[in-house]
């Protein structure tokens, strides 16, 4: 017998054909040093990996911050292209672009990059190479992903955060309407080329900020890594090289594993485990007009949701103090007055971040919390009173 739905479908003459296909993605993530030393094959090999015989055209965009601390960088890139002239061609001299959140917030920067891609005839088999922090990679990635519906994009991350997290990600975005990452796409890069020499030049504040993402991913996925971070907090806080390198690589590997094998690289569902601690972090960035760095806001968000996990009965009491202690050892301030800001009617501005996060997910509110240090769990609601109590706990810890 026909079911009711089948009968209705017959009645309306419906016929459904299912279209199904999947597209495999792969891209190399290289850790090297002196990327633009002509003797280093990493860059040229990444570009020619599919078409070894061709001459590859590239537009190079350089973060002003990275350029400022590496004065010879533009000449080095030019020298590299000259040394590999059989395989590589610059479409124009490397171009310096605005660094930091400004490039994501003032849309003239995005438009300018799209103009250059157009004027210089970057086609779907040419490259936009972005050398910079997460903000430059996000904005340049969006320009590349939308020109001709997607030209090849190579990332050369120059900050801890972009090497250990955003660089290996598959998304990009700019900020619009006061909402962080409002306009963006999912677009895997062509290659990710990490050069540790950039990290040495990074100001301490930026260098520290990126460690927050390592604490985040350790907390949701890898208890051993969390204990390693605890044991090495002093070395990390003083930017000792071997510890920093290991932290970056392990963190990047965990992000790659989650994206590659977590089952939802393009975030079709509502779960967003890599965004642990981020619902409040994104709101704090906006509330402080980006005076708090992304990583600094993540450190606060990570501590807040650890305490919340305890109050929600998910994480044993005392474990949240280990999270806070680690972040403090690393040099983070885990409280910011913006956590307590209210609108004219007295409503918490931070809690509005939960609604924005829900909208961003597009479905049910799904927040990752902790059931152990190294194990994330998903919940579908957050209690305002418990959030407020968690903020009180953070303030009390910092003696304010």
Ligand X SMILES: NC(=O)c1ccc[n+]([C@@H]2O[C@H](COP(=O)([O-])OP(=O)(O)OC[C@H]3O[C@@H](n4cnc5c(N)ncnc54)[C@H](O)[C@@H]3O)[C@@H](O)[C@H]2O)c1
Residues near ligand X, by CB under 6 A: 63-66, 69, 99-101, 104, 132-136, 138, 158-159, 161-162, 165-166, 169, 171-172, 198, 201-203, 206, 209-210, 294-295
Q: Which is nearer to ligand X, 63 or 320 (CB)?
A: 63
Residue 346 C-beta: closest distance to ligand X, Å: 30
Q: Which is nearer to ligand X, 65 or 353 (CB)?
A: 65
The four Cα atoms 174, 180, 186, 190 give a dihedral, to 10 degrees, of 50
Q: Which is nearer to ligand X, 51 or 266 (CB)?
A: 266
Residue 96 C-beta: closest distance to ligand X, Å: 10
CA-to-CA distance for 138 and 366, rounded, in angstroms?
Answer: 24
Residue 103 C-beta: closest distance to ligand X, Å: 8
Q: Which is nearer to ligand X, 169 or 301 (CB)?
A: 169
CA-to-CA distance for 106 and 112, rounded, in angstroms?
Answer: 11
Residue 126 C-beta: closest distance to ligand X, Å: 22
CA-to-CA distance for 58 and 131, rounded, in angstroms?
Answer: 12
Q: Which is nearer to ligand X, 84 or 171 (CB)?
A: 171
Residue 376 C-beta: closest distance to ligand X, Å: 17
Q: Which is nearer to ligand X, 209 or 214 (CB)?
A: 209
Residue 82 C-beta: closest distance to ligand X, Å: 24
Q: Which is nearer to ligand X, 91 or 183 (CB)?
A: 183
Q: Which is nearer to ligand X, 170 or 314 (CB)?
A: 170
Tokens at 332, concatenated: 């983070």
For residue 123, give every residue at least 6 positions away whose Cβ sits within 8 Å of its Cβ, in sequence order, or none: 148, 151
Residue 2 C-beta: closest distance to ligand X, Å: 48
Tokens at 341, concatenated: 């800001």
Residue 56 C-beta: closest distance to ligand X, Å: 25
CA-to-CA distance for 128 and 151, rounded, in angstroms?
Answer: 7
CB 175 within 8 A of CB 101: yes
Q: Which is nearer to ligand X, 48 or 282 (CB)?
A: 282
CA-to-CA distance for 295 and 273, rounded, in angstroms?
Answer: 16
Residue 290 C-beta: closest distance to ligand X, Å: 8
CA-to-CA distance for 99 and 136, rounded, in angstroms?
Answer: 6
For residue 196, give every residue at least 6 positions away whose Cβ sits within 8 Å of its Cβ, in sequence order, or none: 31, 32, 33, 245, 248
Write the burial class of residue 39 (CB in 10 Å: 0-12 exposed, 13-18 middle, 19+ buried).
exposed
Tokens at 75, concatenated: 């000449």
What radius of gyration, in Å, describes the C-alpha atoms of the chain? 23
Residue 98 C-beta: closest distance to ligand X, Å: 8
DSSP letter at 52? Answer: T
DSSP letter at 175? Answer: E
Q: Which is nearer to ligand X, 315 or 334 (CB)?
A: 334
């Amino acid at each position: 017998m026909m079911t009711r739905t089948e009968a209705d479908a017959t009645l309306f003459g419906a016929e459904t054909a299912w279209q199904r296909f999947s597209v495999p993605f792969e891209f190399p993530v290289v850790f090297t040093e002196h990327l633009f030393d002509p003797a280093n094959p990493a860059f040229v090999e990444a570009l020619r990996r599919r078409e070894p015989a061709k001459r590859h055209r590239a537009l190079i965009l350089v973060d002003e911050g990275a350029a400022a601390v590496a004065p010879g960088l533009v000449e080095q890139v030019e020298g590299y292209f000259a040394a590999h002239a059989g395989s590589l061609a610059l479409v124009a001299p490397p171009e310096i672009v605005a660094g930091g959140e400004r490039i994501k917030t003032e849309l003239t920067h995005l438009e300018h990059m799209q103009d250059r891609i157009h004027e210089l005839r970057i086609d779907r088999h040419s490259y936009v190479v972005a050398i910079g922090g997460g903000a430059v990679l996000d904005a340049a990635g969006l320009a590349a992903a939308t020109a001709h519906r997607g030209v090849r994009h190579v990332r050369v991350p120059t900050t801890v955060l972009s090497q250990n997290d955003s660089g290996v990600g598959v998304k990009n975005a700019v900020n619009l309407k006061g909402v962080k990452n409002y306009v963006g796409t999912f677009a895997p890069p062509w290659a990710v080329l990490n050069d540790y020499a950039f990290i040495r030049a990074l100001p301490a504040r930026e260098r520290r900020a990126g460690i927050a993402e390592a604490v985040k991913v350790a907390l949701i996925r890898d208890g051993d890594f969390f204990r390693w971070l605890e044991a090495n907090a002093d070395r990390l806080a003083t930017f000792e090289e071997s510890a920093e390198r290991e932290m970056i690589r392990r963190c990047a590997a965990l992000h790659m594993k989650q994206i590659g094998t977590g089952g939802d690289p393009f975030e079709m569902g509502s779960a967003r485990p890599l965004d642990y601690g981020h619902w409040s972090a994104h709101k704090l960035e906006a509330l402080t007009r980006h005076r708090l760095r992304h990583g600094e806001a993540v450190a606060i968000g990570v501590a807040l949701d650890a305490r919340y996990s305890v109050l929600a009965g998910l994480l044993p009491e005392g474990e949240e103090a280990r999270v806070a202690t680690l972040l403090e050892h690393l040099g983070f301030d885990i409280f910011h007055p913006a956590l307590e800001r209210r609108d004219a009617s007295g409503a918490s501005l931070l809690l509005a971040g939960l609604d924005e996060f829900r909208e961003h997910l597009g479905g049910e509110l799904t927040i990752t919390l902790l059931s152990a240090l190294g194990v994330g769990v998903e919940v579908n609601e957050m209690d305002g009173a418990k959030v407020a109590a968690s903020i009180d706990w953070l303030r009390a810890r910092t003696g304010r």
